Structure 1
Amino acid sequence: MRRVTLVAADNARIAGRVHEPSGLVQGSVVIGGAMGVRQDFYAPFAEWLARQGWRVSTFDYRGSGDSAPATLRGYQADLFDWTRDYEAAIDEAHEALPHAPLYLLGHSLGAQLPGLLSNQHKVSGLLSVAAGSGYWRENAPRLRRIVPYFWFVLVPVATRLFGYFPGRKLRMVGDLPAGVVMQWRRWCLNPRYSVGAEGELVRQAYARARFPVLALSITDDEMMTLQGTHSLVSLYENAPRHVEQIAPGELQVRRIGHFGPFRSEQETKLWPRLADWLRDPVYFKE
């Protein structure tokens, strides 16, 4: 693994890492992380995937992880900025292997932002893992019971008080720039998620996506539902798309959950399946 500094279109500097493959190179994979999740979390999977022949890139969105400033109070960033960070990771990967396939592996938010990318033409496909639209009424039942308090009380009050969302103190999501969490709030309160909250220009951005989308819905996901996954995938209205469910029983494990797909115990269970889906593009077709 080597550390890299990515430069976004607005000259923001983003911390990234590249896991180089050994032997025959199959292509590039850029891992787009979930909201509030550091790239460290994906390191075991990225290292394993590199051993399967993929050049794997990870990064921390601005204002988070290794891309965080000394303080988030007053720090300016929103989800459009995070999309620019994603673009920078894609540009770096594409420049390194310009003639090889480049896949995005998006976990939760990491499968939502690709519809906003300006460099979609560099993407060969999106493998979406445990991702849904985020609309609160399509959240998993337990989360749906508490999320109105989260969006209508905790987020606005805490963000106003601290100047950012203090997720680490609250043991929820993670520390987030105020612009990110308040924009995310608007998305999650809208039935059409980002497209409904932002309007026609964002709808058109998703509609421009032509890369195939394979979305894996985890049956015991404590945050996302199959309905939410279908809602997200439908935003990519002109892309070849397919939704597939994965249950713990199929992998002979007790639990997977929202974060389980990237934990080390899946090295002999789910990870080989993910590698197979990346290796054989037929899985990206209806």
Structure 2
Amino acid sequence: MTQAPAAADSDAVLSAPDGARIALRSYPPTGPAHGCVVIGGAMGVPQSHYAPFARWLAARGWRVFSFDYRSQGASLALGPSLRQSRATLHDWARDFESVVAHARATTPNGPLLLVGHSLGAQLPGLFAQPDQVDGLLAVATGIGYWRHYPARQRRQSPLFWWGIVPVTTALAGYFPGRRLGLIGDLPRGVMWQWRRWCLHPEYSVGVEGAAARASYARVRFPISAFLVSDDEMLSEASLQGLLALYTGAPQAVQRVVPEALGLPRIGHLGWFRSACADALWPLTEAELHALATLRGQGTEATSTAVVAC
């Protein structure tokens, strides 16, 4: 029996609670849906980066949503210019949660899972209603505290955080990352807030205080994390620092070594590239199914264990 052709993905505009407009893309499932997946992207990475992976998941029976944070990617054309943008990381968390609420409305009874890449696994800790989520699959993530960076990145950090960021952001009115070949263009409010986070050992909760710490502690959905051994941006210490913020969430970690899977490299951005599809995406889907089975079981928080693959 031949497989039914995949339905076409579609673009829409979603309004955040404060009226900001968010570029949203949906990928309908082929056949009955296993559940719903919302992809939360990394800092400065447009949703188009995740499109091949989203289509692959949809073809295997998942309803998938991706989006661009305000003032990023396709959402930039829907609001003020980067120089005029007043966006913060708290706004981006609200954008993410607005997409989750929209996705939950499409799948009121099935599991709703997040695939969080880097920043996309940090922001769910700031959700106002984390109980909308049934699980988080975290990829190449961790806190951005600069002393936890891998060695090369750590050596370059003083110049970046105390030199390049303040000077270029002040001159341009936003962080001109594209011209510098660093991260991407970011609103100044996002960059200044992120800088404060990255200079504090406890990252977001260290800067934002008791409210942020309590917000992370309210999360009860299980978290499964992939630690990428050759991630040039975030180390194992970074990941452990992030998981330590989610004090009430069941957690598990798998360490992924590219050579063990026949890959020359994965790095911070490689997981969602088509070149890694055969080696990494089936592993990702299997973990999504595992998270879906935990839905509603009331699992208590567990200590993390690292499993190499």
TM-score of Structure 1 vs Structure 2, range by shorter chain: over 0.9
- 3-state DSSP class of the match of 1:280? helix
Is 1:63 the counterpart of 2:81 in the alignment?
no
Contact between 1:277 and 1:283, CA under 8 Å: does it hold in 2?
no
Contact between 2:134 and 2:292, CA under 8 Å: does it hold in 1?
no
Once the 2 structures are TM-superposed, how far is the Cα of residue 74 of structure 1 from its aligned partner?
Answer: 2.8
CA distance in 1, matches of 2:111, 2:99: 15
Aligned to 1:53: 61
Is 1:181 the counterpart of 2:191 in the alignment?
yes
Contact between 2:38 and 2:115, CA under 8 Å: does it hold in 1?
yes
Residues 238-277 of structure 1 aligned to structure 2 (within 5 Å):
238-277=248-287
Alpha-carbon RMSD: 1.3
Amino acid at match of 1:198: E
Residues 42-191 of structure 1 aligned to structure 2 (within 5 Å):
42-68=50-76, 69=79, 71-191=81-201
Once the 2 structures are TM-superposed, how far is the Cα of residue 71 of structure 1 from its aligned partner?
Answer: 2.5
Amino acid at match of 1:133: I
Contact between 1:214 and 1:283, CA under 8 Å: does it hold in 2?
no
Deviations 1:137-170 (CA, angstroms, capped at 9, x unpaired):
0011111111111111111111111111011111
CA distance in 1, matches of 2:168, 2:227: 32
- 3-state DSSP class of the match of 2:57? helix
Contact between 2:88 and 2:190, CA under 8 Å: does it hold in 1?
yes
Runs of 4+ in 1 over 3 A off after TM superposition: 282-286
Once the 2 structures are TM-superposed, how far is the Cα of residue 244 of structure 1 from its aligned partner?
Answer: 1.6
Percent of residue pairs identical: 51
Is 1:22 the counterpart of 2:27 in the alignment?
no
Aligned to 1:12: 20
Deviations 1:39-95 (CA, angstroms, capped at 9, x unpaired):
000000000010111111000000110111462113111000001100111011000
CA distance in 2, matches of 1:243, 1:280: 13
Once the 2 structures are TM-superposed, how far is the Cα of residue 182 of structure 1 from its aligned partner?
Answer: 0.3
Give the TM-score normalised by the residue count of structure 1: 0.97
Give the TM-score normalised by the residue count of structure 2: 0.90
Contact between 1:230 and 1:243, CA under 8 Å: does it hold in 2?
no
Is 1:37 the counterpart of 2:45 in the alignment?
yes
Unaligned 5+ runs, structure 2: 1-8, 303-309
- 3-state DSSP class of the match of 1:105? strand
CA distance in 2, matches of 1:17, 1:153: 37
- 3-state DSSP class of the match of 2:82? coil
